[in-house]
Structure 1
Amino acid sequence: MKIRTERVGRVYDESYALVDATLTFEPGTSTAVLGANGAGKSTLLGLLSSALRPSEGEVYFGLVPGSRAGAETRACIGYVGHRPMVYSDLTARENLDFFAKIYSQSTLLTDAVLEKVGLSHAADRMASTFSRGMLQRLAIARALLHEPSILLLDEPFTGLDLAGVERAARLFVGARERGATVVWVTHDLELSEPFVDHVVVLRHGRVTFQGRRSRPLIEDYRLYAQQGGAVA
């Protein structure tokens, strides 16, 4: 699903976290959102997830304005954050069965998704007993369970070992290849670089670059986030 922001601003306590952001995210692309701490990255992701409402402007999901987006639109979104947001008093399988029902998906998909993230062996363990990396794998499974057409990733490799990173990255690439719109917020440019084809750079809440990646991510970051290059 295409996402478009039109002159979007977001204000917290009379200060702008995001200013006049006009951006387009196309289906079948994977976009890294880069910027220093406080640049507005997580605010942008919150707006794209519909969890936040803009103070100014509008976010469009396909042709639907975010102000009119309902449960049907939100059901198209998968979100992975650096906090797992799973139920610790349920097993891994029970967590996914619960979310499958929310998304009107068959619970028969649960075992297949647990296998994809490498948690089949722990399907019936309580999430409260999981390591940090296992919790992150479960969060990734939750986000991918309903094959979302929008996949939003906020530091998705948090807590994962190298094998977990490689497994997760393959799943994120698979989502892009089946036509999902994938948007990343990450500080780990080296790990994310092979899976990203577009870049958005924010500086002090303003977009300083959006375009196809043609150089290493660290170069885009240095040029547009640290030095404040021009908008493309």
Structure 2
Amino acid sequence: MGEKGLEWEKISKTIRGNMVVHPFSFRLPPGRVLALAGGNGAGKSTILRMTVGLLRPTSGVIRVNGIETGRRTRAYVEQIGYMPDDFSFSPGLTAWETIAFFAGLKGLDQKRARDVLEIVGLGAERDKRVGHFSKGMQQRLLFAQAILAEPPILVLDEPTNGLDPYWVDTLAELLVGVKKSGRSVVFSTHQLDVAEQVADEVIFLNRGRVISSGAVESFCTRYGAGGLAAAFAELIRKEPGTRVASEGRGQRRGGSG
């Protein structure tokens, strides 16, 4: 079946003649967490959408637990739990109806659906319509559907958007638990303090290019208290014609829910 984990091999993406992700390779083994860090337009979401099969790479190959994207589609998709950055649930459904629907699609029983609502702190809100949820509550429901089937790999696009500090920390703890269970996580973020808290590896992106990658611990050792924010700021300063974006300065947590 091939090597376990997630592998990007010389993947790239060109849209309407514009290369939005330049070729790069990386392998994430099981039980590790990878953060994709960079400002708006860096290519983070495009990489994740290619990973889950929503976009086809222009070149290169993506493998999840040895299965190539585009081949054995069902088996490939079953390896992944995906949390998109921008997704609208049906506003007229309750939290319970929503998560029960996703559980049914994945062939799971209602007990698992109840359990994940409790995990994300929405058990008491199960009968509330999703249309009345705050952004943070909707993010937690999105995370719940991603972890429903306990997939080997979680792919999370800006999972902390809209979360208040308590739920940012709680999500971080949940991701550490996923890692300890031997599963892999790749997530995009502009909150570099969260990446420091959770990730083992980081890929810094700018304008679709990988400008650096490596162990989070190594960056933090090199840059001290400045951590990943200081590392990213220095990398961006070296990029021709690029100004340091606010996302690279370790934007603080905030939001609703």
What is the TM-score with the length of structure 1 in the denominator?
Answer: 0.92
Gaps of 5+ in 1: none
Identical counterparts, % of pairs = 34
User: What do residues 121-153 of structure 1 show as CA deviations (whole Å, max 9, x unaligned)?
Assistant: 111111112122211111111111111111112
User: What do residues 157-199 of structure 1 show as CA deviations (whole Å, max 9, x unaligned)?
Assistant: 1111122212222211111111121112111112332111101
| Number of equivalenced pairs | 229
* Counterpart mapping for 1:55-94 below 5 A: 55-94=58-97
Distance 1:188 1:170, change over 3 A: same
1:218 equivalenced with 2:221 (yes/no): no
Partners in 2 of 1:54 and 1:204 — Cα distance? Answer: 17
Distance 1:44 1:225, change over 3 A: farther
**1:83 to partner: Cα distance:** 2.2
Contact 1:3 1:62 in 2 (8 A): yes
Q: Where does residue 116 of structure 1 map in the other structure? A: 119
Q: Where does residue 28 of structure 1 map in the other structure? A: 31
Contact 2:94 2:130 in 1 (8 A): yes
Partners in 1 of 2:121 and 2:139 — Cα distance? Answer: 11
User: What do residues 38-86 of structure 1 show as CA deviations (whole Å, max 9, x unaligned)?
Assistant: 2211111111112111011111112221121412221221122332442
**1:16 to partner: Cα distance:** 0.2
Q: Where does residue 245 of structure 2 map in the other structure? A: none
Partners in 1 of 2:97 and 2:237 — Cα distance? Answer: 45
Q: Where does residue 227 of structure 1 map in the other structure? A: 238
Distance 1:225 1:151, change over 3 A: farther
Partners in 1 of 2:231 and 2:72 — Cα distance? Answer: 33
Distance 1:47 1:220, change over 3 A: farther
Q: 1:42 aligns with which of 24, 27, 45?
A: 45
Contact 1:36 1:225 in 2 (8 A): no
